[in-house]
A and B are shown apart, each in its own frame.
Chain A
Amino acid sequence: METIQTSLVNAFRLLPRLADGILVTLEVSALSFVWAVVWSLVLLPLRMSSAPGVSPIARGYVEVARNTPLLLQMYLLYFGLPVLSIPLSAMTTGVLAIGLQHGAYLVEIYRAAIRSIHRDQHDAARALGLRPFTTFRLIIFPQALRRVFAPLTNQSIVLIKDTTLVSAITVMDLTLVGKIIVERSAASDAFVVVAAFYLLLTSALGLVHRVVEHRYGQHI
């Protein structure tokens, strides 16, 4: 009983210090999500392009981004960019790396949504004399958009979990702050508080995901 009490006291004592880390984690999450969406919207037309050579290159990028660990992609940028004398802060590098990988995941989500619109609708649109772009704008896109929301929310949960990796390139996020507290003060329970916060964050988004899924229905 006494140990539970002391660890609770410890936890409360540590909260102010952890708060700074929480802010950094939220900042990294928000920035990298926005960057991932922007980057995915750049990649998508390239991936869907019919111009020779463009789509295979985009596909190559997506496959490499998805089939190698984010930690290594982060190391590549963190230790590699200074060699090219491109000075970026650790935080910018982390955000950059997360967005570069998650952009690739988002492209595949969009593609799955677009593919899930039944072939007959393309044919029907053509029979009505709609041009390919008009078909996409008026028929495919509005339906695909609805089907993107739920997996997009899901991906944002993965993204928040992935922000923990910025701690490996010295960004003082919640993970690194927790780690430093544990290693300096031997208060290992601090890490339980850190874990609890992440769990709170991901389960809150999990609830959002369920609402979105219910609202926009249909799995892909």
Chain B
Amino acid sequence: MFPVFFANLPYLLKGAFYTINLSVITVVLGLVLGATLGVLAYYGPRPIRMLIAVYVFFFRGLPVLIVVFLFYYLPPVWGIDLNVYLSAAIALVCYSGAFVTEIVRGAIGAIPASQIDAAKSVGMKTVPILWLIVLPQALRFSLPPLLNNTIMSIKITSYSSVVGVWELTFAAREVVERTLAAFEIFLGVMAIYFLLCFPLSVLSSRLERKLAIPTFA
């Protein structure tokens, strides 16, 4: 079964390595960016909150592919020379980060104001309230959606192949052009993506049940 796929597996796995690389960059930097902006979107000064709202509006409203193209076409116009990897990575991080921002902001918003009042009434300051009361619970709320966002981030790295980033999807197309074994190769490559995403999906739905705070239902 699947002789062409297995004959080309080493080449495809090299592509998978690039996909994992790009995914890790997208997920990690997207998390850092989104978590920072998510907290600032709640506690930051008004101008910053408005800027973040604009950022989220743009990057959640635009299709990923369009974001990828924008970062590919526009920097040269302004005289900035980015290679495709960098432009795709920035595009994916900005896109993923916008979703993380909303998840974090929403999770913070879900914490009842009465808890903050209670903390203030026992004399806690803003930073300890944030660190000891708000963020631990917010993390608990946001973990399942953050995992879903991670799955999305892995899947959208494949779109970077459209502007010429060499990764798993690009490698798959090369192999298909060479061997014409479209079914075998694309099914096999889908299996590789599935192996990357499905465990996260299972983990996400388990955590959703496990981490739900019963009194908040």
**Chain A positions near chain B (C-beta within 8 angstroms):** 63-64, 66-73, 75-76, 79-80, 83, 160-165, 167-168, 175, 178-179, 182, 188-189, 191-192, 194-195, 198-199, 202-203, 206
Contacts and interface: CB of A to CB of B under 8 A. Distances in A.
Given A175-B69, A206-B61, A75 B159 contact: no
A161 B63 contact: yes
Nearest to A161: B63
B5 interface: no
A63 B201 contact: yes
A206 B60 CA distance: 10
Contact of B176 (A70, A71, A79): A79
12 contacts: A67-B197, A72-B169, A75-B173, A79-B186, A80-B183, A161-B62, A161-B63, A165-B159, A167-B65, A195-B62, A195-B70, A206-B61
Nearest to B193: A68
Tell me if A's interface is mostly helix, strand, loop or mixed.
Answer: helix
A178 B156 CA distance: 20
Contact of A67 (B76, B151, B169, B173): B151
B194 interface: yes
Contacts of B74: 188, 191-192
Nearest to A77: B186
B190 interface: yes
Instruction: Select the residue from B65, B155, B161, B172 with max chain A CB neighbours within 10 A.
Output: B65
B176 A67 contact: no
Given A76-B190, A191-B73, 6 more contacts: A71-B161, A72-B193, A79-B186, A165-B65, A198-B61, A198-B62
A199 B193 CA distance: 29
Nearest to A162: B63
Given A80-B182, A80-B183, A64 B190 contact: yes
B198 A164 contact: no
A13 B63 CA distance: 24
Interface of B: 57-58, 61-66, 69-70, 73-74, 76-77, 151, 155-156, 158-159, 161-162, 169, 172-173, 176, 180, 182-183, 186-187, 189-190, 193-194, 197-198, 201
B194 A199 contact: no
B66 A175 contact: yes
B201 A182 contact: no
Contacts of A189: 77
B66 A195 contact: yes
Given A67-B151, A69-B169, A75-B186, A164 B63 contact: yes
Nearest to B155: A69
B132 to A, nearest CB: 27
Contacts of A194: 66
B151 A203 contact: no
Contacts of A203: 57, 61
A78 B106 CA distance: 39
Instruction: Select the residue from A70, A71, A163, A202 with max chain B CB neighbours within 10 A.
Output: A71
Contact of B194 (A68, A178, A198): A68
A32 to B, nearest CB: 14
Contact of A72 (B77, B180, B186, B201): B186
A20 B186 CA distance: 31
Given A64-B190, A72-B193, A191 B62 contact: no
